[in-house]
Amino acid sequence: MNIIEASNLEYVYPDKTLGIKNFSLNIEESERVVLLGSNGCGKSTLLKLFAGLIKPMSGSIKIFEKDVIRENYLYFRKNIGFLFQNPDDFLFNPTVEDELLYTPMQLGFSEVEAKNLIAENANYFGIEKLYEKPPFRLSGGEKKRVALACVLQLNPKLLILDEPTSNIDGKTRNKIIEFLKEYKGTMILSTHEIDFVKKISNKVVLLSPDKEILKLGGIELLEDIEYLEAAEIL
Ligand SMILES: Nc1ncnc2c1ncn2[C@@H]1O[C@H](COP(=O)(O)OP(=O)(O)OP(=O)(O)O)[C@@H](O)[C@H]1O
Ligand SMILES: [Mg+2]
């Protein structure tokens, strides 16, 4: 099954800034894709397009072979886990515990089921001591851990992570890498940390500063200095 079918995507923000152009890519089930490129090259824009959070101005995109239309939003919500680059875009509940419980409860878990689910993951990500705190009073890394726990605990079919390890300490970073190695679904992430990419991915999309694909390849692309320099990430 094709998880993402993107053809000639172009996205322009309301203030007329180009987000991405000429973007075509198919992602099949169980592929593990990493987007690499310099600041502002369109990674976050693409990830939002892949999650159906925004719609392209031109070109076409299908997610799970479905169109990005209102009738499919609930299906996308149930099956896609999305981590925003900035956790403040995501955290809005009064306490960390409410935040963790929010999506499971929305998806129909009973309170007992939801509490069991969050306890397991909260422990893994070391956030169980933060339950009572309002998310806006957490440190940057703590916010990211809470947002990650919210997304990963549901074990979605498609995991879309925008810079999952930025702002994160070494021990937690290793846990996230371990988690992603074990994860069996389809994964698309962006990062500026090339060193862990080969441990968790099998497809690399290199974006140019001009906001289009520079090169698509396997992890051997990470050794290609010429391309990494052209992408301005080396
Ligand atoms: N909300 C917005 N309104 C206007 N322009 C935006 C908005 N968000 C992003 N852009 C612009 O769109 C382009 C692509 O931005 P995007 O956030 O996708 O880059 P990125 O590759 O994720 O960068 P980074 O590595 O810094 O996270 C940039 O030129 C950026 O300035
Ligand atoms: Mg970004």
pLDDT digits (tens, 9 = 90+) for 9-60: 999 999 999 999 999 999 999 999 999 999 999 999 999 999 999 999 999 9
pLDDT at 209 over 90: yes
Q: Which of 11, 16, 44 to mutate to test the pocket of ligand 1 (most atoms within 8 A of CB)?
A: 44
User: Worst-scoring range by mean pLDDT, 75-89, 116-130, 157-171, 188-202?
Assistant: 116-130
Could you tell me the strand order of the sheet in which 80-83 lies? 80-83, 158-162, 186-190, 32-36, 203-207, 213-217
What residues does each domain of the chain span?
Answer: 2-230
Q: 2-230: what CATH class?
A: alpha beta
Q: How far is the CA of 110 from the centre of ligand 1 (A)?
A: 38
Q: Is the CB of 84 under 6 A from ligand 1?
A: no
What pLDDT score was predicted for residue 2?
95
Output the DSSP codes for the chain.
-EEEEEEEEEEE-TTS-EEEEEEEEEEETT-EEEEE--TTSSHHHHHHHHTTSS--SEEEEEETTEESSGGGHHHHHHHEEEE-SSGGGT--SSSHHHHHHHHHHHTT--HHHHHHHHHHHHHHTT-GGGTTS-GGGS-HHHHHHHHHHHHHTT--SEEEEESTTTT--HHHHHHHHHHHHH--SEEEEE-S-GGGHHHH-SEEEEEPTTSSEEEEE-GGGGG-HHHHHHTT--
Average pLDDT over residues 78-85: 96
pLDDT at 112 over 90: yes
Rounded CA separation 104/215 (Å):
38
Whose C-alpha lies nearest to ligand 1, atom 13?
Answer: 19
Q: pLDDT tens for residues 156-206?
A: 999 999 999 999 999 999 999 999 999 999 999 999 999 999 999 999 999
Q: How far is the CA of 211 from the centre of ligand 2 (A)?
A: 12
pLDDT at 61 over 90: yes
Q: How far is the CA of 43 from the centre of ligand 1 (A)?
A: 8
Q: Is the CB of 85 under 6 A from ligand 1?
A: yes
Question: Parallel, antiparallel, or unpaired: how do β-strands 203-207 and 32-36 relate?
Answer: parallel
Q: Which of 21, 41, 160, 162 to mutate to test the pocket of ligand 1 (most atoms within 8 A of CB)?
A: 41
What pLDDT score was predicted for residue 46?
98
Q: Is the CB of 164 under 6 A from ligand 1?
A: no
Q: Is the CB of 156 under 6 A from ligand 1?
A: no
Residue indicated by tokens 């694909």: 213
| Average model confidence (pLDDT) across the chain | 95
pLDDT at 121 over 90: no
